[in-house]
Chains A and B, each alone.
Chain A
Amino acid sequence: MSTARATNEPQESGGAADVAALIPMLRRIVAARIGQHPAAEDLVQETLLRVLAAEDRIEPGMLEPYAIATVRNVMATMWRQDDRDARNQHRIHDPSEPDEAEEVVVASEEQSAITEALRRLTDREREVLLAHEVSGRATQSLAEETGSTANAVAAQLKRTRARLRVEYLLALERTEPPTDRCRAVLMALSSADRRRQREVDAARHLLECDLCARLSQPLLGRGPVRDNEIHVPISADPDIVAARSAAREMAVRAGFAGADLTMLATAVSEVARNIVRFASTGEVTVELLEQPRPGIRVVARDTGPGIADVDRALEDGYSTYQGLGLGLPGARRLMDEFNIVSETGHGTTVSMTKWFDTKGRG
């Protein structure tokens, strides 16, 4: 057979004939997955190329299974590529023309919002952005012009795009943000910069500011999907149970077991209840920690009246409703780290952490 043949031999070889015999099957597989997609034939040819290139490594009789696996990979790669392209598509200039009257109106609104957003950038930002996105100039050539590096230009472009998104959303709403912090928070979200989001306490701001909560929706999906963090909105009794189940699930993934799980869930229950009782709305965030060691961080934020005397609230037996007064002090005892910040009139943030490998417990 053709197992020892080099791949760059003439196409009339027996191997190529074997490979050619795969074509009908490959076409069927591709058609079954993507139908009459314009790329269908390209995928078949791409697969054939790969099979031909690998032919001398394929054991006799394994040609068909190899081709099937390859065609699947080729199709999966195409999906991923399409996905990424759609996500990263440059949207400043959209050459397609809207048909319906409604679409025309929407398009013109979007157009004026984009124009307004572009206007709000600095001249320099706008110049570089347009040179890159519209004229298609490479970051390298832009860098040479200013004596900078391609990476620096790319980073600057990233910031500019993040700002453009924020300004676009604001222009579309025809509104100015109510507080000084809004832009900083929206910028941190738009650039998917988690460190910055923490610095400006974005999560709390979104609870407090209706405008930012609304505008942040399209921005929150940016950046890599994080499955090591859950947000549970808290406004009623069932949310308490939802929050502690979420914490428990996350903790199981972190490797917690037994009493640690129950202690964590109980502490979450206490802080979530405080939100329902005193603040009426807020959220509980459960985050899986890997540094400095595995653990779970729970942050409960609310926009309630705040706690006037935090020290007293942490005393056993102090309760302003008909509780046992064990909520906060109890939660503190159940967790390894506990921190509470409260501002009268603004709300309370309770952060608490439980480490996986505590006190050498088995």
Chain B
Amino acid sequence: MNSGPALVSILRQGDTLVASVHTALDDSEMVRFQHDLVRQIGEHRARGIIIDVAALDVIDSFASRTLRSIADIARLRGAVTVIVGIQPDVAFAMVCLGMDMGEVPTALDLEEGLAYLSRLRGLGSSHG
């Protein structure tokens, strides 16, 4: 089992899961994170997911592919994913590398991410 401080924390806030990545993850840790998060969507009946990647100093092809997979899987499980906190330098390198987040919505930070999800919900329900 993993010892030491948690690499990722997943907290529940209403029907939203907030997953914060605390440190650089290697590929297998990234995959484990994907499994954990997808499992918790069902457990908590989550409708929205925010993934905070502010602590990632590198988002390479594998990391961005995994993040996109998480969002795709979550969508099939009925939840919307927002990626927040991509650092400016990381964004720059991602563009050079030729990657983006595809259809996955992104937001500046956690606050903007929550606002985005509540706007979506506002559109989706008639009584606001």
Spell out A's residues near B (CB within 8 Å). Answer: 237-238, 240-241, 244-245, 248, 258-259, 261-263, 265-266, 269-270, 273, 276, 316, 322-324, 326-327, 329-331, 333-334
Contact = CB atoms under 8 A, between A and B. Distances in A.
Contacts of B24: 241, 244-245
Interface string B45-68: 000000000000111111011000
A240 B90 contact: no
Contact of A273 (B62, B89, B90): B62
Contact of B93 (A240, A266, A327): A266
B89 A326 contact: no
Given A329-B98, A330-B99, A333-B96, 17 more contacts: A237-B26, A237-B29, A241-B25, A241-B26, A245-B24, A248-B57, A261-B89, A263-B92, A266-B58, A266-B59, A270-B60, A273-B61, A323-B62, A323-B65, A324-B61, A326-B61, A327-B61
A258 B92 CA distance: 10
Contacts of B89: 258-259, 261-262
A315 B57 CA distance: 26
Interface in B53-99: 57-62, 64-65, 87-90, 92-94, 96-99
A152 to B, nearest CB: 52
**Count class of interface residues, chain B:** 20 to 34
B97 A334 contact: yes
B2 to A, nearest CB: 12
Contact of A330 (B27, B88, B92, B98): B98
Nearest to A326: B61
A326 B26 contact: no
Given A244-B58, A248-B57, A273 B27 contact: yes
A248 B56 CA distance: 13
Contacts of B90: 262
A238 B28 CA distance: 8
A334 B93 contact: yes
Contacts of B64: 324
Residue with the highest number of chain B CB atoms closer than 10 Å, among A238, A262, A334: A262
Interface of B: 24-29, 57-62, 64-65, 87-90, 92-94, 96-99
A333 B26 contact: no
Contact of B98 (A240, A245, A259, A333): A333
B80 to A, nearest CB: 23
A334 B96 contact: yes
A140 B127 CA distance: 100
A263 B93 contact: yes
A324 to B, nearest CB: 5
Q: A-B pairs with the 9 shortest C-beta distances?
A: A330-B97, A262-B89, A259-B92, A237-B26, A269-B60, A326-B61, A262-B93, A259-B89, A237-B27
18 contacts: A240-B26, A259-B88, A259-B93, A262-B58, A262-B89, A262-B93, A266-B94, A266-B97, A269-B58, A269-B60, A273-B60, A322-B65, A323-B62, A326-B98, A330-B60, A330-B99, A331-B97, A333-B98
Contacts of B59: 266
A262 B62 contact: no
B35 to A, nearest CB: 15
Nearest to B62: A273
Contact of B92 (A241, A262, A322, A324): A262
A315 to B, nearest CB: 12
B22 to A, nearest CB: 14
Contacts of B26: 237-238, 240-241
Given A263-B96, A324-B99, A326-B98, A270 B61 contact: yes
Most A CB contacts (10 A, CB to CB) among B29, B64, B92 go to B92
A180 B98 CA distance: 44
Contact of B97 (A244, A261, A276, A333): A333
B101 to A, nearest CB: 12
A266 B60 contact: yes
B79 to A, nearest CB: 23
A252 B27 CA distance: 24
